[in-house]
Amino acid sequence: MEKIVSLCRRRGFVFPSSEIYGGLGSTYDYGHYGVLLKNNLKARWFEAMILERDDIVALDSAVILHPRVWEASGHVEGFTDPLVDCRTCKLRFRADKLEDSQCGRKPSKHPGEFKECDLTEPRQFNLMFETTVGPVQEAGSKAYLRPETAQGIFINFKNVLQLARRRPPFGIAQIGKSFRNEITPGNFLFRVREFEQMEMEFFVPPADSERWYRYWIDERLAWYLRYGLRRGRLRVREHGPEERSHYSQGTSDIEYLYPIGWSELEGVANRGDFDLTRHTEFSTTKLEYVGPDGERYVPHVIEPAVSLERIIVAMLVDGYDEEVVGERERTVLRFHPQVAPVTAAILPLIAKDEGMVSKARSLYEELRKRHSVEYDDNGAIGRRYRRQDEIGTPWAFTIDEQTLADDTVTVRDRDSLAQERLPIAGVRGWLDDALERDWHPPKGD
């Protein structure tokens, strides 16, 4: 994890936020390559969830919702973690995760195990960030930053049903920021206070909920394999009844083998009719499906929910590799080509050669209309390749002396390091085809 954090910082993927003010614990800013990576992951999720299907529509709901939403959802009352303070070291811990925490005075021990530890009794701490709507703090002005995007979907169920003319089974998907005042954030982006969720609520006839629940576990697992996570580092773990959230009739975590051990990447939950029933009760607006022949029911909901942050950590861990090539070490991020921040680099071999520069620039300008490509003429060619390896660029096109003679370029493959020559006029088509090819992790599953 340390190597990944340092690579992310060095290459400007992700770095600690508010650094010039000393930082703000566990908040991060995304630099250029981080933004490109996030955009690609969102696009791949959006394609799989919406563009490649007929039964799911998109939504972008507000971050600040009516405060009654969070009463209906159970968050005001129950979205809490038990918290203990240590009177000696003044640190705060989750009472249910003491075995994962380190004592502030003696890090080899867990809080409460060292003789100087003096823990308070656990008290419940609500994870929602509060804010005030309007200029005056008064009764009724309290609101919350959403702790999940899901509730914005439930409260729009009726709108979508009518406006998009849907009948179950159908889904509503959205991507957006969520906020949780986590007591113990950490492990880089794995647990942060501000994260970008990708959630989809799939509304089904009650009798079909178990079938759809299994379907969505399989679909989401297949998505991770499609985008190159190794099979051996993914598993599905079903929650026992004691572990499930208040709304859940069944939950399975798709877990990834992070450096901290097997941990939740994505959750798939069968939420039953909990949310629509509660919002009907609290808002007095009936949230149900009424069929053309008069049949009516409250649909049950299957929900796959994940954050970009957890996917990014999994992709970085999975793709990170170090190897020695020709007595030189290289660090490489073996991202799936459709996920990699930069798809191809365009490199004139000699930066001062006008002929090479002009051909390289015109190839770059052609490719950038459709792809994320980078032009780089800075430094020795070997160093330029290594820079691209480090950010996970799958292909590099090099323009050299031979290009001036016969209009061909070299394409270098990040994973195999194989090089072949192509006519410059065919590069665009070659890249389109290469992006469509199946890609498997080169180091096996």
The distance of closest approach from Cβ of residue 288 to ligand GAP in the complex, given in angstroms and rounded to an integer, is 21
**Min CB(133)–ligand GAP separation in Å:** 23
Own/partner pairs for 223-228, CB < 8 Å, 24+ apart?
223/44, 223/45, 223/48, 224/254, 224/256, 224/265, 224/314, 226/48, 227/44, 227/315, 227/336, 227/338, 227/339, 228/315, 228/318, 228/319, 228/334, 228/335, 228/336, 228/339, 228/439, 228/440, 228/441
Q: Footprint of ligand GAP on this chain (CB under 6 A)? A: 148, 150, 180, 182, 191-192, 195, 197, 199, 264, 266-267, 303, 305-307, 309-310
What is residue 436's three-state secondary structure? helix
Q: State phi, psi for 349 to the nearest 5 degrees.
A: -60, -45
DSSP helix/strand/coil, 51:
helix
210: enclosing H helix or E strand:
helix 209-226
- Our CA dihedral for 319, 373, 43, 16, rounded to 10 degrees, sits at 60
Closest contact distance (angstroms) between CB of 197 and ligand GAP is: 5
Least Å distance between CB 392 and ligand GAP? Answer: 22
Closest contact distance (angstroms) between CB of 189 and ligand GAP is 7
Contacting residues for 250 by C-beta, under 8 A, at least 6 apart: 210, 213, 238, 239, 244, 269, 270
Task: Give min distance, CB of 354 to ligand GAP, in A.
Answer: 49
**Please, are residues 379 and 347 in contact by the beta-carbon 8 Å criterion?**
no
Cβ atoms 175, 63 nearer than 8 A: no
The smaller minimum CB distance to ligand GAP, of residues 263 and 408, is found at 263
Closest separation between CB of residue 111 and ligand GAP, Å?
20
Cis, bond preceding 82 (omega within 30 deg of 0): no
Q: Closest residue to ligand GAP, Cβ-based?
A: 307
The minimum distance between CB 287 and ligand GAP, in angstroms, equals 17
Q: Which amino acid is at 190?
A: F
Closest by Cα among 332, 325, 349, 444 to 394:
332
